[in-house]
Amino acid sequence: MSRLNEERLEDEHFWLREKENPAVRAHLEAENAYADSVMKPTEPLQEALYKEMLGRIQQTDLSVPYRKGKDFYYSRTEEGKQYPIHCRRRGSLDAPEEVTLDLNELGRNETFVELNEYEVSDDGSLLAFSLDVTGFRDYTLRIKDLTTDELLPESVAKVAAAAWAADGKTLFYVTEDHAKRPYRLSRHAVGSDPAEDSLLHEEKDETFRVSVWRSRSRAYVFAASESHTASEVRYLPAREPSGDFRLIAPRAKDREYEVDHLGDLFYISTNDKGRNFRVVAAPVYDPCPENWREVVPHRTDVMVTGIDAFADHLVLWEREDGLPRLAIIDLSTKASHRIDFPEPVYSVFAADNPEFETKLLRFRYQSFTTPESVFDYDMEARSLKLLKRTQVLGGYDPANYCSERLHAVAPDGTPIPISIVFRKELNEGDRPLVLMGYGSYGTSSPVSFDSNRASLLDRGVSYAIAHVRGGGEMGKEWHDTGRLMSKRNTFTDFIAAAEHLIARKYTSKDRLVIEGGSAGGLLMGAVTNMRPDLLAAVVLRVPFVDILNTMLDTSLPLTVGEFEEWGDPRVQEHFDYIKSYSPYDNIAAKHYPAMLVKTSFHDSQVMYWEPAKYVARLRAMKTDENPLLFKVNMAGGHSGYSGRYDKLRETAFDYAFMLTRLGIEK
């Protein structure tokens, strides 16, 4: 029960928050049993899907090695093992393999294993790594002596980030508070008691989070304090680990910047002159804003999403027309050019680029039809070299599929991009279609390859992404017009995308499934409340559906920092607006489509009780006979299971639900 300005929120399912209450666990296990019983007739289909998806994967595989110093690092997988094995070869690719970290061994007695930090000291003798074995993103920092293959005795709990100093004996790390906010920067001397570590900075503002990293030049350690709308960065020469961090520019309202280093300059991307960021250079000896020199001006149609400095080149990660772009600046000639990509929709991500003195940029490219491909790009010769394309077994042929970029029109006239893929000969009007959406935090929904998706496409099911406002596809304004008091645009954009696909005969109402996770689950819940007639089924993964109660509880992870995204419901105007769309608060006595709701008991980002309460209220109020299934992963985290085979089983379950709701039984 909550109160704001005399308004009361009655929550008949509040008791489901009591995680240690045996009745809560019994309730969740009963929901799992019910979901399994309803899905039991689909078990042959689930098994067929699992075997199909497994059959496309090269189970024993090797990543592309990357060079760091004199050594080469990579990971590999072995058939039958859930997790990757991290390795290196010293001095050359022909040297004997050294296993630096085998997650299968570390997770032998665990139901969940996730690696976060993996940082090797400059001389290659020590590895700092962090593991979570709970699913709650509780990462414990350990140090391994790679020369003896032994773990050192010290450990630090709740570590969010770590970076080595140049001496290989000093480690900087960030720890979390009670609400999982990274807020303390500390310095550790290898071999000492962590209880004696020096606290260098404590972030008092609960809307800010602290991070630490090493520059590619290896010359500096950076530490940042960042909110969703502001940032400030400090720097320390890596060869002076006992020194004091110095501030580049103080935080200011709605002022963001990020920093990289090259020679006697810091290169900085900043939104001080416009929402889409410009690039400036600042002298290391005094990098205050008064000394910033413009390198790339702000552009209204192009957003700079990141920068990477190399010895002779500056790389700009950009977005334009809803697509990622890569721009290269030759710092000696000041000439710039872009890398061209051939497909109408695609994604580009940074790969491992630890080397500073290089003309090669490594990146990962993929699309709906092209598997992940690792390239080296020669920034001087302007030539591409394909190093590896993920092998898809089972006869996959990209020529059998077609991807397109469409545009719907939102109620206010804004064009909404849609990316879609389908099997060519099976797309002949009113086909079944799965439409995905996210639309929050300025995060773009990538057009990525997923070999599992072929199990849908080959059954005639198209797949599409609605790039709705609130995301970052079209720059910062795209985010701004889908957050805070404009959040409803996210929902109406998605509805417009669905209606466009139906009007264009890509699908029909009774053959449309929608899906989304986390903040995308909020989108699914809101859309389902607003237009339950528009679709046949919905899948909500770890959905953020109890937004009003969560944003009123400042003790929960993420809440305070996310006032800048959703609003602060302690403010009456924000309270009223959030309540107007919060899925949990807008469930009504009406017909709903078939629904599969998924959560994890140990999720730290969206607590399990949000979807649990949501399902309980839906069961009490909905007036239809359509199935409502609630599947609770009792061992996973925000992304479900950590093991790759376990994840395939989860996907097979989801696909079986979707396909049977679309009338596809095998």
Rounded-to-integer distance, Cα 145 and Cα 168, Å: 11
Q: Given this model, what pLDDT does residue 355 score?
A: 97
Rounded-to-integer distance, Cα 320 and Cα 474, Å: 7
Which residue do the tokens 């960065």 mark? 233
Do 529 and 590 form a contact (C-beta atoms < 8 A)? no
Q: Given this model, what pLDDT does residue 562 score?
A: 94
Is the pLDDT at 2 greater than 60? The verdict is no
Comparing CA positions, the residue from 586, 555, 580, 584 lying closest to residue 567 is 580
Encode 308-353 in three state secondary structure: EECCCEEEEEEEECCEEEEEEEECCCCCEEECCCCCCCCEEEECCC
Question: Quick one: which H or E segment has residue 564?
Answer: helix 563-566
Structure token pair of residue 98:
């050294």
Structure token pair of residue 345:
């929709």
Q: How far is CA 478 from CA 20, 239, 267, 319, 470, in A?
A: 41, 42, 26, 12, 6
Is the pLDDT at 310 greater than 70? The verdict is yes
Report the SS3 class of residue 459. Answer: coil
Confidence band of 7 (pLDDT split at 50, 70, 90):
low
Report the SS3 class of residue 587. Answer: coil
Is the pLDDT at 273 greater than 70? The verdict is yes
Kindly give, in sequence order, each residue whose CB lies less than 8 Å from that of residue 394, ignoring residues fewer than 6 positions away.
52, 55, 56
Structure token pair of residue 97:
């393999």
Report the SS3 class of residue 37. Answer: helix
Q: Please write the tens of the pLDDT for every residue from 172-199.
A: 999 999 999 999 999 999 999 999 999 9
The CB density around residue 27, as the number of other CB atoms within 10 Å, is: 18
Helix, strand, coil percentages for the chain (3-state, nearest 5): 25, 35, 40
Rounded-to-integer distance, Cα 120 and Cα 125, Å: 7
Average pLDDT over residues 411-428: 91
| Active-site annotation holder among 638, 639, 642, 654 | 638
Q: Given this model, what pLDDT does residue 428 score?
A: 67
Q: Which CATH superfamily is domain 19-54+394-661 in?
A: Alpha/Beta hydrolase fold, catalytic domain (3.40.50.1820)
Do 607 and 599 form a contact (C-beta atoms < 8 A)? no
The CB density around residue 56, as the number of other CB atoms within 10 Å, is: 19
Do 228 and 220 form a contact (C-beta atoms < 8 A)? no
- Which residues in the chain are classed under CATH 2.130.10.120? 110-255, 265-391
Is the pLDDT at 116 greater than 90? The verdict is yes
pTM, to two decimals: 0.95
Confidence band of 6 (pLDDT split at 50, 70, 90):
low
Average pLDDT over residues 19-33: 97
Q: Is 638 one of the catalytic residues? A: yes
Rounded-to-integer distance, Cα 609 and Cα 453, Å: 30
Q: How far is CA 442 from CA 228, 303, 304, 477, 607, in A?
A: 9, 12, 13, 9, 22
Do 602 and 114 form a contact (C-beta atoms < 8 A)? no
Strand partners, 629: 596
Q: Given this model, what pLDDT does residue 425 score?
A: 83
Do 197 and 207 form a contact (C-beta atoms < 8 A)? no
Amino acid at 532: P
Task: Work out the burial of residue 164: count CB atoms within 10 Å of its CB; fewer than 13 is exposed, 13-18 middle, 19 or more buried.
Answer: buried
Is the pLDDT at 1 greater than 50? The verdict is no
Average pLDDT over residues 569-593: 97
Do 637 and 604 form a contact (C-beta atoms < 8 A)? yes
Rounded-to-integer distance, Cα 66 and Cα 263, Å: 23
Encode 70-113 in three state secondary structure: CEEEEEEECCCCCCCEEEEEECCCCCCEEEEEEHHHHCCCCCCC
Average pLDDT over residues 17-24: 96
Which residue do the tokens 């240690």 mark? 20
Rounded-to-integer distance, Cα 154 and Cα 132, Å: 16
Handedness of CA 248, 249, 251, 254 (dihedral sign): negative
Rg (CA), the chain: 25
Rounded-to-integer distance, Cα 512 and Cα 435, Å: 7
Do 312 and 332 form a contact (C-beta atoms < 8 A)? yes
Q: Please write the tens of the pLDDT for every residue from 227-271.
A: 999 999 999 999 999 999 999 999 999 999 999 999 999 999 999
Do 249 and 235 form a contact (C-beta atoms < 8 A)? no
Q: Which CATH architecture has domain 110-255?
A: 7 Propeller (2.130)
| Active-site annotation holder among 27, 603, 604, 654 | 603
Do 333 and 300 form a contact (C-beta atoms < 8 A)? no
Task: Specify the CATH class of 265-391 in words.
Answer: mainly beta
Q: How far is CA 113 from CA 105, 133, 641, in A?
A: 10, 5, 9
The CB density around residue 348, as the number of other CB atoms within 10 Å, is: 19
Is the pLDDT at 429 greater than 90? The verdict is no
- pLDDT above 70 covers a percentage of the chain that reads 98
Report the SS3 class of residue 246. Answer: strand
Q: How far is CA 322 from CA 258, 351, 416, 438, 525, in A?
A: 22, 21, 10, 15, 25
Strand 114-120 to 360-366 pairing: unpaired
Q: Is 419 one of the catalytic residues? A: no
Q: Is 227 one of the catalytic residues? A: no
Strand partners, 410: none
Strand partners, 67: 72
Q: What is the DSSP letter of 371?
A: P
Which residue do the tokens 């986390």 mark? 518
Q: Given this model, what pLDDT does residue 232 score?
A: 98
Q: Please write the tens of the pLDDT for every residue from 476-489.
A: 999 999 999 999 99
Structure token pair of residue 324:
């990622």
| Active-site annotation holder among 444, 455, 518, 604 | 518
Amino acid at 530: M
Structure token pair of residue 137:
């993103």
